[in-house]
Structure 1
Amino acid sequence: MDTTPMFRAVLLHANDTSRDTVVLLENHAPAPPTRLRLPGEFAGAAVFDVYELADDDEWPEQAVYWHVEIIPRTTADLT
């Protein structure tokens, strides 16, 4: 059984609420990360979706993040 502590990251998108989602992430710190960089896809290309912490009132069970940018991923980023 995996006993790694987890938290729910609520990912919100101001311009496209159909992309709003909740993901489970490992919790290794006393406070939520202020920025998340998660792999994604945009127009068929690999990207990182970047999220900024918006609300940590329910930490350590949950934190809310707003999408702030998309960063293209290249093969150099993966090595």
Structure 2
Amino acid sequence: MTRTTTFRARLLRRDVQPQTITVRASSDAPPRTLRRAAGGGDQLTFDVYALVDADGWPNEATYSYVESVQRSAADADI
């Protein structure tokens, strides 16, 4: 059975101080990627982070910034 886990995710991004956030995951393993809301307006912007270190799982994991993606509100059902 899959359980819901709350863990600390350390987000790394070039030229930005590392940020630690609390994340809920419904898995026995850390998510491979995290998407975090990064903007608003007519576009929905998300920063995408990839898992780089899960040695501290299930308490913590480290992610590195990959890219920002945008989609319009009309594309939300795609």
> Normalising TM by the smaller chain, what interval?
0.7 to 0.9
- Residue in 2 aligned with 1:13? 13
Whole-angstrom CA distance in 2 between matches of 1:60 and 1:7: 6
Aligned residues: 72
Q: Deviations over 1:21-67 (max 9, x none)?
A: 1111113211100011111128xx64110000000000000000000
TM-score, reference length from structure 2: 0.78
- Relative to its length, the structure with more strand (as a share) is 2
- Residue in 2 aligned with 1:22? 20
- Provide structure 2 residue ranges, at least 5 long, that are not aligned to the other structure: none
Whole-angstrom CA distance in 1 between matches of 2:29 and 2:52: 13
Displacement over 4 Å in runs of 4+:
none
TM-score, reference length from structure 1: 0.77
CA RMSD of aligned residues (A): 1.9
